């Protein structure tokens, strides 16, 4: 292969400069002298703000400069000759600094020649290095300001005070823009260079405006209201003000008006020009519309979230999208999304008319836009869009011919993109197949909640309808939910059972459930199972009975071999594997579940070992089918047994309560002993800790231990027949800690990982003695949620709870910003076909993706067991 040119294109440099008056006049197509816009016939006035040479916005008119029509003409600048110079607000800072560093008499930079050369040399070298000159220039300003007597003309320098917004006061006398401009004009080019400016593209005097560029009309289009009245853009209003004052100024000066009036008018002109650039300068009352609304001028257009950069360039609004609340529907496939009928009727897919589909498309048009699978628009071969209405649908149906396009309504089976913000990873936008449903919410299978991080407490999601064949093909191959079951983050399934799915299958597969034929058929009714296996046993009346493991086996693919410990595993020192006495070791042979219990480790999101294996071995189709099947089976399973939780499930026997009480008292006693030892200075400090830290740690340890022990006592009273324990042990929801807090003891409340210490001097609350180090004085909550907290406990609990809330709020905002920076830095990197990671210029970032070139979703965790499995499957022999 021929050598490619190494780096294709590179921007050599970008240079910013100031617009000189000459440039403004050069780029201007006309001087604007009249404040009027349109004449009585509604035709733009020559040399007015809507002059036809500035570009056109009305259809039908032609631009006098370039001859193009509205939409083609980019617009052209005009200019206003200001009667007197005014300061440009945007340069106030630079003007102030420059004024203070030059001589008021000879305009030379207030530095010795040697110093200047030194700074110049430093600027040059920093430019060569590609550094910003800002720091050096600021040093120049600082140095020059210190000089009290001009080294060139020996004039004494006076302090220049800056007064908001645009006044410069020297020695009690206000400098007029003209004076400032004169001083700047006299600065020699060499001195300008020392100030970090390039005199050929940015002379300091250009910061004082003598001529104002007038933006093209295309930048400030007027809109015609329904009443036929014209409404001008805010910028146009501002320009009108400027021209009016400019004219009045001219007239007054020509008539020889008194100095006072001239000054007032000059200030007014300054005000209008200032607010034209920025209507939110501090110290300047914002210019308002007649209605009292502040005008949106140049700076306001660019700034902020809704400004040109963040609002129009970085982010845009899209068509063919819908948003509504989401709710669950376990009978849908994970690949589907339920779309409300009303949304489906408004969303369209363009379909080109061909000889093969013309009859079908005719049918859609015939139904019109009112009846569901209908059509909303028809596009003729010349590109005209015609809305399908009740009146014209028959006529349109007749007229349709090959080459036209029909925009038909969204139907079952169409592919759409579905998204929930914040879109933090690629699984936040996935492709689903449409299922049009009644009611007003998007419906999705709860198994796809984890990748979207969605729940149904009012979450809303967005849907985007794909408009081209290519995008639909790409979406269905790459973005469909089933193609994203495995997350590239950890190579395992991110989609999987949650809550009821886990409880349901846990209830179904544990123990030896006796399931009658009717129940078995009902459980499997929504899956594609046609034949039941040999029954496991028979009842006394000779009725066939199956067990839950058999039922679950029906949805497993043939030939699946798998062994793993489940979530309920007791983590014994030596795992007995197949001989596990707790039925916590799952064994699947040839798609037949031999033993074990299905729980979070088997089918849960982020964990699901079975799902992981099915996707990797049988492909995404089988994976999706398995998820669909087990969600339906689990829901029916949990409904068969029933699973509920109430306040009485937290009840523990009186004896246990007494035990817990005793245990906590003993712990308190031990804490008291520790404190006594500490106060008697008998306590030994731990290595690297102070005595205070040591006692805090020991108390925390003691109390933590006590809380765990109360949990164990409570846990002994509550077995797997308790639904909360069942949910916690199977991994469906909640934890044993949650249950401990509800039934036995809430435990220590902490702020920043320490016991609560803040509050009054020496104590947390007036209820305690000063210096009390005891458990209850520092936020140990003895009560359980069930028994209720006493007032001090309640208060400490609120402190700890508040910290949790603040933490989450801070964490999300910080990690969000971190993520944004990372994404911006990495977004253009791409894994090439040769496995290298490169950026857009072809510069290599990694020579092999992840250094090993492995796609984690395609790998089986690089474990030797994976090889053993393959050997076993192929040869039928065990290897080790």
Partner 1 sequence: MRKFSLLDHELIPKHEIMSEDELKAILKTYNIGKEQLPKIKIEDPVIQEIGAQAGEVVRITRNSQTAGQAFYYRHVIA
Contacts with partner 1, residue ranges (CB under 8 A): 1, 3-7, 834, 836, 838, 841-845, 847-848, 850-854
Peptide linkage before 861 cis (omega within 30 of 0):
no
CB of 843 to partner 1, least distance (A): 5
Tell the smallest beta-carbon distance from residue 7 to partner 1 (Å). Answer: 5
Residue 596 CB neighbour total at 10 angstroms: 27
Strand partners, 338: 435, 443
Instruction: Kindly state the DSSP code that residue 594 receives in the 8-state scheme.
Output: E
Beta carbon of residue 832, minimum distance to partner 1 (angstroms, whole number):
9
Closest to partner 1 by CB, 425 vs 848, is: 848
* Least distance between partner 1 and beta carbon 5 (Å): 8
Least spacing, CB of residue 1 vs partner 1, in Å:
6
For partner 1, give the closer residue by CB, 471 or 836: 836
Residue 257 φ/ψ, nearest 5 degrees: -65, 155
**Minimum Å distance from CB 853 to partner 1?**
8
H/E stretch holding 336 reads strand 336-340
Ordered DSSP codes for 186-240:
TS-HHHHHHTT--TTT--GGGGEEEEEEE--GGGS--EE-TTS-EE--HHHHHHH
Considering only CA atoms, which of 820, 840, 741, 817 is closest in space to residue 781?
741
What's the closest the beta carbon of residue 854 comes to partner 1, in angstroms?
7
State the minimum distance, in angstroms, from the CB of residue 864 to partner 1.
Answer: 15
Residue number, 40 or 834, with CB nearest to partner 1: 834
| HSE-CB of 704 using CA atoms within 13 angstroms | 10
Burial zone of 853 (CB within 10 Å; 0-12 exposed, 13-18 middle, 19+ buried): middle
Ranges assigned E (strand) in 663-788:
747-748, 750-751, 754-755, 780-781
Q: How far is the CB of 836 from partner 1 (least distance, A)?
A: 6
Q: Which is nearer to partner 1, 570 or 847 (CB)?
A: 847
Instruction: State the CB neighbour count (10 A cutoff) for residue 470.
Output: 9
Shortest separation between residue 807's beta carbon and partner 1, angstroms:
30
Q: Which is nearer to partner 1, 153 or 844 (CB)?
A: 844
Cα–Cα distances in Å, from 334 out to 536, 593, 620?
A: 32, 24, 12
Mode of pairing for the β-strands spanning 405-409 and 348-352:
antiparallel
* For partner 1, the closer CB: 19 or 854: 854
Q: Pick the closer one to partner 1 by CB: 6 or 319.
A: 6
β-strand partners of 563: 587
Instruction: State which residue, 189 or 839, has the beta carbon closest to partner 1.
Output: 839
Cα-based torsion angle of the residue sequence 23, 27, 29, 30 in order, rounded to the nearest 10 degrees = -20
Q: How far is the CB of 839 from partner 1 (least distance, A)?
A: 10
| Residue 44 DSSP one-character state | B
Closer residue to partner 1 (CB): 4 or 260: 4
Between 342 and 860, whose beta carbon lies closer to partner 1?
Answer: 860
Q: Least CB distance from residue 133 to partner 1, whole Å? A: 22
What single-letter DSSP state applies at residue 178? H
CB distance 306 to 326 below 8 Å: no
**CB-wise, 541 or 834, nearer to partner 1?**
834
CB of 838 to partner 1, least distance (A): 8
Cis peptide before 178 (omega within 30 of 0): no
Distances (CA, A) of 460 to 288, 321, 327, 450, 457: 38, 13, 9, 15, 9
CA end-to-end span of the chain: 46
Among 654, 330, 333, residue whose Cα is nearest residue 498 = 330
Q: How far is the CB of 411 from partner 1 (least distance, A)?
A: 46
Query: Looking at beta carbons only, is 719 or 842 nearer to partner 1?
Result: 842
- The closest of 704, 837, 679, 845 to 775, measured between CA atoms, is 704
The minimum distance between CB 360 and partner 1, in angstroms, equals 49
Q: Percent helix, strand, coil in the chain (nearest 5)? A: 40, 15, 45
By beta-carbon proximity to partner 1, the closer residue of 557 and 853 is: 853
Minimum CB distance to partner 1 smaller for 300 or for 856: 856
Residues 542-569 as b/e (b if ≥16 CB within 10 A, e otherwise) read eeebbbbbbbbbbbbeeebebbebbbbb
| Per-residue tokens: 709 | 């022990």
How far is Cα 319 from Cα 603, in angstroms, rounded to an integer? 38
- Give the separation between CA 669 and CA 652, rounded to whole angstroms: 24
Give yes or no for a contact between 49 and 181, defined as CB atoms under 8 angstroms apart.
Answer: no
| Cβ 602 to partner 1 shortest distance, Å | 28
How big is the CA angle at 638 (ends 523 and 713), to the nearest 5 degrees? 145
Separation in Å, CA 387 to CA 88, 262, 374, 377, 383: 51, 61, 12, 4, 13
Kindly tell me which of 807 and 852 has the beta carbon lying closer to partner 1.
852
Closer residue to partner 1, CB minimum distance, 535 or 853: 853
In the bound state with partner 1, the residue whose beta carbon lies nearer, of 160 and 845, is: 845
Q: How far is the CB of 831 from partner 1 (least distance, A)?
A: 13
CB 827 → partner 1: shortest distance, Å? Answer: 19
Neighbours of 878 (CB within 10 A): 8
Nearer to partner 1, 6 or 644 (CB): 6
How far apart (Å, rounded) are the C-alpha atoms in residues 630 and 691? Answer: 57
| Partners of 592 in the β-ladder | 589
């Amino acid at each position: 292969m021929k050598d490619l040119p190494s780096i294709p294109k590179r921007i050599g440099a970008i240079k910013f400069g100031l617009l000189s008056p000459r440039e403004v006049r050069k780029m201007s197509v006309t001087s604007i002298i009249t404040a009027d816009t349109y004449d009585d016939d509604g035709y733009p006035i020559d040399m007015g703000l809507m002059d036809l040479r500035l570009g056109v916005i009305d259809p039908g008119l032609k631009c006098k400069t370039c001859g193009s029509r509205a939409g083609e003409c980019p617009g052209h600048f005009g200019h206003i000759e200001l009667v007197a110079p005014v300061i440009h607000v945007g340069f106030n800072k630079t003007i102030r600094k420059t004024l203070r560093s030059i001589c008021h008499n000879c305009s030379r930079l207030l530095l010795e020649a040697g110093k200047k050369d030194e700074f110049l040399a430093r600027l040059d070298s920093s430019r060569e290095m590609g550094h910003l000159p800002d720091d050096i220039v600021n040093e120049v300003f600082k140095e020059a300001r210190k000089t009290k007597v001009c080294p060139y003309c020996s004039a004494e320098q006076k302090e220049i005070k800056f007064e908001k917004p645009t006044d410069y006061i020297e020695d009690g006398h206000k400098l007029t823009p003209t004076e400032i401009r004169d001083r700047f004009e006299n600065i020699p080019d060499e001195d300008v260079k020392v100030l970090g400016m390039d005199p050929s593209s940015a002379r300091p005097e250009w910061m004082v405006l003598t001529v104002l560029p007038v933006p093209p009309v295309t930048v400030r289009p007027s809109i015609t209201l329904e009443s036929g009245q014209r409404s001008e853009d805010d910028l146009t209003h501002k320009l009108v003000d400027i021209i009016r004052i400019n004219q009045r100024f001219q007239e007054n000066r020509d008539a020889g008006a008194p100095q006072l009036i001239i000054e007032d008018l000059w200030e007014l002109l300054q005000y209008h020009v200032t607010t034209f650039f920025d209507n939110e300068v501090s110290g300047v009352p914002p210019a308002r519309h007649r209605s009292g609304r502040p005008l949106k001028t140049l700076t306001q257009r660019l700034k902020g979230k809704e400004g040109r950069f963040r609002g129009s360039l970085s982010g845009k609004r899209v068509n063919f999208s819908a948003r509504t609340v989401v709710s669950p529907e376990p009978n849908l496939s994970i690949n589907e999304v339920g779309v409300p009928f009303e949304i489906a009727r408004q969303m369209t897919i363009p379909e080109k008319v061909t000889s093969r589909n013309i009859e079908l498309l005719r049918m859609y048009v015939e139904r019109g836009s009112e009846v569901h699978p209908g059509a909303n628009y028809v596009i003729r071969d010349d590109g005209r869009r015609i809305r399908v209405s009740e009146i014209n649908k028959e006529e349109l149906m007749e007229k349709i011919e090959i080459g036209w396009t029909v925009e038909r309504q969204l139907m079952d089976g169409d592919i759409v993109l579905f998204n929930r913000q914040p879109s933090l990873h690629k699984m936040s936008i996935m492709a689903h197949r449409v299922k049009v449903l009644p009611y007003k919410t998007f419906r999705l299978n709860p198994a796809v909640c984890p990748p979207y991080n969605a729940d149904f407490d009012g979450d809303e999601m967005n849907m985007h309808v794909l408009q081209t064949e290519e995008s639909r093909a790409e979406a269905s191959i790459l973005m469909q939910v089933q193609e994203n079951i495995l997350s590239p983050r950890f190579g395992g399934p991110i989609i999987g059972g949650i809550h009821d799915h886990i409880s349901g299958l846990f209830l179904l597969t544990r123990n030896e459930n006796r399931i009658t034929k009717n129940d078995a058929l009902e459980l499997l009714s929504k899956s594609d199972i046609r034949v039941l296996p040999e029954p496991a046993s028979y009842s006394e009346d000779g009725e066939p009975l199956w067990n839950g493991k058999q039922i679950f086996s029906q949805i497993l693919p043939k030939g699946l071999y798998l062994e793993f410990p489940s979530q309920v595993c007791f983590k014994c020192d030596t795992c007995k594997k197949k001989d596990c006495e707790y039925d916590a070791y799952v064994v699947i042979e040839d798609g037949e579940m031999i033993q074990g219990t299905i729980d979070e480790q088997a089918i849960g999101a982020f964990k699901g070992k079975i799902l992981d294996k099915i996707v990797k071995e049988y492909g995404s189709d089988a994976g999706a089918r398995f998820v669909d099947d087990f969600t339906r089976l689990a829901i029916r399973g949990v409904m068969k047994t029933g699973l509920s939780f109430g306040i009485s499930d937290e009840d523990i026997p009186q004896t246990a309560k007494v035990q817990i009480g005793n245990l906590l008292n003993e712990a308190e006693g031990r804490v008291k002993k520790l404190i006594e030892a500490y106060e008697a200075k008998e306590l030994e400090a731990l290595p690297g800790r102070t005595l205070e830290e040591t006692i805090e740690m020991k108390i925390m340890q003691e109390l933590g231990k006590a809380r765990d022990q109360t949990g164990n006592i409570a846990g002994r009273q509550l077995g797997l027949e308790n639904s909360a324990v069942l949910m916690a042990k199977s991994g469906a929801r909640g934890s044993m800690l949650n249950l401990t807090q509800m039934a036995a003891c809430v435990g220590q409340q902490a702020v920043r990982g320490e016991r609560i210490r803040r509050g009054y001097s020496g104590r947390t609350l007036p209820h305690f003695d000063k210096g009390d180090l005891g458990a209850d004085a520092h936020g140990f909550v003895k009560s359980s949620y069930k028994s209720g907290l006493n007032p001090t406990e309640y208060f400490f609990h609120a402190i700890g709870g508040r910290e949790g809330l603040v933490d989450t709020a801070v964490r999300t905002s910080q990690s969000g910003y971190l993520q944004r920076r990372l994404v911006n830095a990495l977004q253009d990197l791409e894994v090439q076909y040769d496995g290298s990671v490169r950026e857009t210029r072809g510069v290599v970032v990694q020579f092999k993706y992840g250094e090993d070139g492995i796609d984690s979703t395609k790998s089986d965790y690089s474990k030797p067991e994976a090889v053993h499995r393959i050997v076993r499957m192929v040869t039928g022999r065990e290897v080790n």
